[in-house]
Chain A
Amino acid sequence: MKLLRLFFDKIEPLFDEGKALSLFHPVYSMFDNMMFSSNEKTPNAPFGRDPIDIKRYMFIVVIALTPAFLGSLYFYGLRILWMLIVSYAVGAVVEIAFAIIRKEEVNEGFLVTGFIFPLILPPGIPLWMVAVGMAFGVLVGKEVFGGTGRNIFNPALVGRIFLALGYPSAMSGSWVSPGSGSLGNLLKNFQLAAPDVLSSATPLVQAKNGIFMPLKDLFFGNILGSAGETSALLIILGGLIVLFAGIANWRTILSIILSFAGFNLLLNILSPGTANPVLFNMLSGGFLFGTFFMATDPVSSPITISAKWVYGIFIGLIALLIRTFSGFVEGMMFAILLGNIFSPLFDEVVIRVRMKHYAKKL
């Protein structure tokens, strides 16, 4: 590693201001920061700081997503790996381009966005759509607002919604039957092109027709669905990692689950037969994945702690309403997006209440 460090130190002057490659300084510092830990000194008290930083924060999410990713390789084959590479490459290009334009450092947010994006897409989708969706998501969902930390929406979600609205037939009909047995589809589906056997009958579509998949299949993943959200077990496993690492806010997760399950139960009692059974609803579609990995995105969810409760309840309720009473079979995506839209409002209410409290004290 010493050689690599020497190499980095040697090329660093090339990126200094006024030099030939100064435009690409963000690229250099990205690689430098990724490869080696920071060497910056604490400028003010406290002179020692907590070891957490953004890279590590983001990387814990990637680690937590790994079970679902490995599961997707097993179910749908190595094609998912291609999707991941395309997603990362496009995300990095857009991110770096904007870092150069803004003359800022490259933010690590795309580590997560690039990893999540292929996992929320149908596994049979053409690769160029992955690229288009990712580019749109990062560009419109994040960069136009000023980059990581300033975006209103979850970039991966924006990309997916763009694809869902722009290419509805591909997005609703590109499901692939998951593999089973000891190796599943692990060594299959090498090809870049979309696989031939496509279907559109996900468990939630079938539920509309009154056919409910067995819960066991939903839990272990013997169903059609987006690449990463097939197996509830693997998602819960990853979800527990982000939960216990403190990266995802437990308030958001708890309130979404309680609200979704609670209102579902209420609906089933008040008007039997309208909504799907509670457990079926929770294990199918993108509910768990959205709850653990998408809704908990700290930037696009409310900033204040109290508002996170409201946000969670809101998402749970909207997801249920969309699933039950609208033409869409999946409600999570739009529910989180609506939650993102409303979260500044929730924050504002909390802030106003707090301001009143302080005004009273004076």
Chain B
Amino acid sequence: MRGGYTPKIDGRPSSILKKIALSSSLTIDLHRNERFYKPLVEEGQRVKIGDLIASADLNLLIEKGDSIEENDPVEKEAQVLYLPSPADGIIHLNIETETGKPFSIILSDIGSSVDKNPQIVKDPNRLTPIEARKVLVERGIWQYIWSSGTNGIADISGKKKPKAIVINTIIAEPFRTRGKVILNNFWHSIIKGLSYLPLLLEDYGTIEFILTEKKDPIVQLMLKELTGKAWVKFHFVDVKYPIEKPEILNKLIRKEKNRFNQDNEIWVVDIQTVEAIGICLGKGVPMSRRIVAMGGPAFPDPMHINVRIGTPLKDIIPENINLNTTLVLRGGLFLGEPVDPENSSVGFDDDAFFFIPVKQTREFLSFIKPGFSKRSIFPNFAGRIDRDLSSQLRGELRPCIACGKCQEVCPVNLMPQIIHRYLYTDRLDEAQKLGLDNCIECNLCTFVCTSKIELKVQFVNAKNMLLMEQEGNL
């Protein structure tokens, strides 16, 4: 990867993994990642852990030629995502008053009958690929699988199989669940999950591990365990945001020219997904919890937590955090969006909550207070208050002065400063010619911009406009 940058920020979660007790009620949001789930259960219904409670159509952007036929119900049925219930309990549907649509499911009278209710476990050798895919979909794990073919969630039908599955253990974005924490704590489930992954691969496909430092004991252990398995390959890379973006990993793997061609699909999963696969397929336990990193400058004792899906944020945020002066982000610093900590819960795809202090004070003559600091991409002379991360913009919007930092950090080798100039003068075509479509929306250019320009928002808007133009032409 070219470029990339990981800023130095306080509040990195320690590798301690704390188990959070089961809450008295769980909330499952039905609107996640621009996808609406429809409830499959009724008000007052009693469900068991693992029962399917909601579903959503997976609208894949499949290339022309192999698009799903409208009258083929079997195909259509194959492209549905499910959410399983994370615990035993009684269903209550939260319905929006204006539209009459349910927006979340609340589980009350919570229990967990996992141990009393063992699911059928099959040895990987005796499980068929169709069965394996079915279990992964119904356990809610499929949505974590990224595919280069769809540039999103992988095709469920089984028509397209990947030539390689990339397992990423590196998360550089501050601060999402670190692969090492999962590796250290769930070693056996991961090994188990690994043994099921070949079921998804095409013939002679490979598993590609993305790792850092060879010297790490857990990595050594893994190398030892997996040597001699020709279908597992290892890649050692630098920890630099946004290395964990599947688009970047896909490119990285494809650099080995003789192994892949354009038509080969590559799937990317993170290590937490492999662990979940190991638990679901290997131990027969439904997917019901997430390992979540709690960190950021405003979090007093940053760590990782092992939490049941649907747990309200109120129950996992320590009481000594003043929520009036803290902004809580769902996700890491770069891609996280703010959530209302009073009314939100841990979702199926959450792996981080980032706490940023909201500051009101305005520091006097902050820009002339000298002191070298590595907290900025410029090792600059920063004022004391402004030096620490906050939800402030920490500067004023100004015209681009072409300092070139955005180009230096861009992981896909774009020239954001030039694209910005083109978009500023409404020259969309030129921006597209300069590779605007390649932008992976990692937000790095926006983060480092000296002039505080909302580069990513501009780029996304431009991309949408280009898309609309194309659709209009078709």
Residues of A whose CB lies within 8 Å of any CB of B are: 1, 4-5, 33-57, 59-60, 63, 105, 107-109, 147-150, 244-247, 249, 298-299, 301, 303-305, 308, 347, 351, 354-355, 358-359
**B396 touches A (CB below 8 Å):** yes
**A355 contact set on B, CB distance < 8 A:** 430, 433-434
Q: What's the minimum C-beta distance from B458 to chain A, rounded to whole angstroms?
A: 10
**A347 contact set on B, CB distance < 8 A:** 418
Among B99-107, B215-223, B309-317, B387-395, the stretch in contact with A: B387-395
Determine whether the beta carbon of B403 is less than 8 Å from that of A56: no
Determine whether the beta carbon of B451 is less than 8 Å from that of A49: no
Among B70-78, B125-133, B247-255, B327-335, the stretch in contact with A: B327-335
Determine whether the beta carbon of A54 is less than 8 Å from that of B434: no
Determine whether the beta carbon of A40 is less than 8 Å from that of B362: no
Cα-based distance from A57 to B448 in the complex (angstroms) = 12
- For the complex, would chain A's binding face be called helix, strand, loop or mixed by DSSP majority? loop
Enumerate B37-71 residues with CB–CB distance to A below 8 Å.
none
* With A40-B393, A50-B7, A247-B403 already in contact, 10 other A-B pairs whose C-beta atoms are closer than 8 Å: A40-B397, A41-B392, A44-B446, A49-B394, A51-B376, A52-B448, A149-B399, A149-B451, A298-B404, A304-B415
Determine whether the beta carbon of A51 is less than 8 Å from that of B446: no
Cα-based distance from A35 to B447 in the complex (angstroms) = 24
Q: Which of A57, A107, A148, A245 has the most CB of B within 10 A?
A: A57
**B230 touches A (CB below 8 Å):** no
Determine whether the beta carbon of A298 is less than 8 Å from that of B402: yes
Determine whether the beta carbon of A49 is less than 8 Å from that of B452: yes
**A354 contact set on B, CB distance < 8 A:** 415, 434-435
The answer, among A5, A41, A46, A55, for a CB contact under 8 Å with B362, is: A5
Determine whether the beta carbon of A53 is less than 8 Å from that of B394: yes
The answer, among A54, A60, A244, A249, for a CB contact under 8 Å with B395, is: A54
**A48 contact set on B, CB distance < 8 A:** 9, 333, 356, 389-391, 447
| Contacts known (A59-B381, A303-B404, A358-B433); A107 close to B362, Cβ less than 8 A | no
Determine whether the beta carbon of A35 is less than 8 Å from that of B415: no
| Contacts known (A57-B450, A351-B415); A51 close to B386, Cβ less than 8 A | yes
Interface size grouping (class) on chain B: 35 or more
Determine whether the beta carbon of B376 is less than 8 Å from that of A50: yes
**A249 contact set on B, CB distance < 8 A:** 404
Determine whether the beta carbon of A41 is less than 8 Å from that of B393: yes
The answer, among B367, B404, B447, for a CB contact under 8 Å with A50, is: B447
Determine whether the beta carbon of A54 is less than 8 Å from that of B451: yes
**B243 touches A (CB below 8 Å):** no
**B408 touches A (CB below 8 Å):** yes
Determine whether the beta carbon of A38 is less than 8 Å from that of B394: yes
Chain B, residue nearest A43 (CB): B454
**A301 contact set on B, CB distance < 8 A:** 402
Determine whether the beta carbon of A52 is less than 8 Å from that of B450: yes
Q: What's the minimum C-beta distance from A45 to chain B, rounded to whole angstroms?
A: 6
**A304 contact set on B, CB distance < 8 A:** 404, 407, 415, 417-418
Determine whether the beta carbon of B402 is less than 8 Å from that of A299: yes
The answer, among A34, A47, A51, A109, for a CB contact under 8 Å with B329, is: A47
Q: Which of A4, A35, A109, A244 has the most CB of B within 10 A?
A: A35
Q: What's the minimum C-beta distance from B205 to chain A, rounded to whole angstroms?
A: 25
Determine whether the beta carbon of B336 is less than 8 Å from that of A38: no
Determine whether the beta carbon of B448 is less than 8 Å from that of A50: yes
Cα-based distance from A213 to B451 in the complex (angstroms) = 45
Q: What sequence of 0s and 1s flags, for each residue 368-410 of chain B, a beta carbon within 8 Å of any chain A beta carbon?
A: 1010010111111111011101111111111111111001100
**B365 touches A (CB below 8 Å):** yes
Q: What's the minimum C-beta distance from B221 to chain A, rounded to whole angstroms?
A: 35
**A34 contact set on B, CB distance < 8 A:** 365, 367
The answer, among A46, A245, A358, for a CB contact under 8 Å with B434, is: A358
Cα-based distance from A240 to B358 in the complex (angstroms) = 36
Q: What's the minimum C-beta distance from B450 to chain A, rounded to whole angstroms?
A: 5
**A298 contact set on B, CB distance < 8 A:** 401-404
Determine whether the beta carbon of B447 is less than 8 Å from that of A299: no
Determine whether the beta carbon of B391 is less than 8 Å from that of A37: no
Q: What's the minimum C-beta distance from A62 to chain B, rounded to whole angstroms?
A: 9
Determine whether the beta carbon of B394 is less than 8 Å from that of A50: yes
Determine whether the beta carbon of B398 is less than 8 Å from that of A47: no
**B329 contact set on A, CB distance < 8 A:** 47
Chain A, residue nearest B433 (CB): A355
**B443 touches A (CB below 8 Å):** yes
**A54 contact set on B, CB distance < 8 A:** 395-396, 398, 401, 450-451
Chain B, residue nearest A55 (CB): B367
Chain A, residue nearest B436 (CB): A358
Chain B, residue nearest A62 (CB): B368
Cα-based distance from A348 to B384 in the complex (angstroms) = 41
Q: Which of A56, A59, A249 has the most CB of B within 10 A?
A: A56
| Contacts known (A47-B338, A304-B407); A299 close to B401, Cβ less than 8 A | yes
Q: What sequence of 0s and 1s flags, for each residue 328-354 of chain B, a beta carbon within 8 Å of any chain A beta carbon?
A: 010001111110000000000000000
**B375 contact set on A, CB distance < 8 A:** 51
**A56 contact set on B, CB distance < 8 A:** 367, 380-382, 395
Cα-based distance from A176 to B333 in the complex (angstroms) = 56
Cα-based distance from A69 to B391 in the complex (angstroms) = 37
**B456 touches A (CB below 8 Å):** yes
**B387 contact set on A, CB distance < 8 A:** 51
Chain A, residue nearest B404 (CB): A305
Q: What's the minimum C-beta distance from A114 to chain B, rounded to whole angstroms?
A: 15
Across the A-B interface, the 10 shortest Cβ-Cβ residue pairs: A53-B395, A149-B399, A36-B362, A37-B366, A40-B393, A55-B367, A1-B364, A303-B402, A37-B363, A48-B389
Determine whether the beta carbon of B364 is less than 8 Å from that of A4: yes
Determine whether the beta carbon of B435 is less than 8 Å from that of A107: no
**B404 contact set on A, CB distance < 8 A:** 249, 298, 303-305, 308
**A246 contact set on B, CB distance < 8 A:** 377-380
Q: What's the minimum C-beta distance from A211 to chain B, rounded to whole angstroms?
A: 42
Determine whether the beta carbon of B415 is less than 8 Å from that of A42: no
Q: What's the minimum C-beta distance from B268 to chain A, rounded to whole angstroms?
A: 21
18 inter-chain pairs at a CB distance below 8 angstroms, sorted by A residue, are A48-B391, A50-B376, A51-B373, A51-B376, A54-B450, A54-B451, A57-B403, A60-B381, A63-B370, A148-B399, A149-B451, A245-B378, A246-B379, A299-B402, A303-B404, A303-B421, A304-B404, A358-B433
**B338 contact set on A, CB distance < 8 A:** 47
| Contacts known (A149-B401, A299-B401); A46 close to B379, Cβ less than 8 A | no
Enumerate B438-468 residues with CB–CB distance to A below 8 Å.
438, 443, 446-452, 454, 456-457
Determine whether the beta carbon of A245 is less than 8 Å from that of B418: no
Q: What's the minimum C-beta distance from A171 to chain B, rounded to whole angstroms?
A: 29
Cα-based distance from A52 to B433 in the complex (angstroms) = 30
Q: What's the minimum C-beta distance from A174 to chain B, rounded to whole angstroms?
A: 32
Q: Which of A36, A46, A54, A249 has the most CB of B within 10 A?
A: A46
Cα-based distance from A303 to B365 in the complex (angstroms) = 30
Q: What's the minimum C-beta distance from A253 to chain B, rounded to whole angstroms?
A: 14
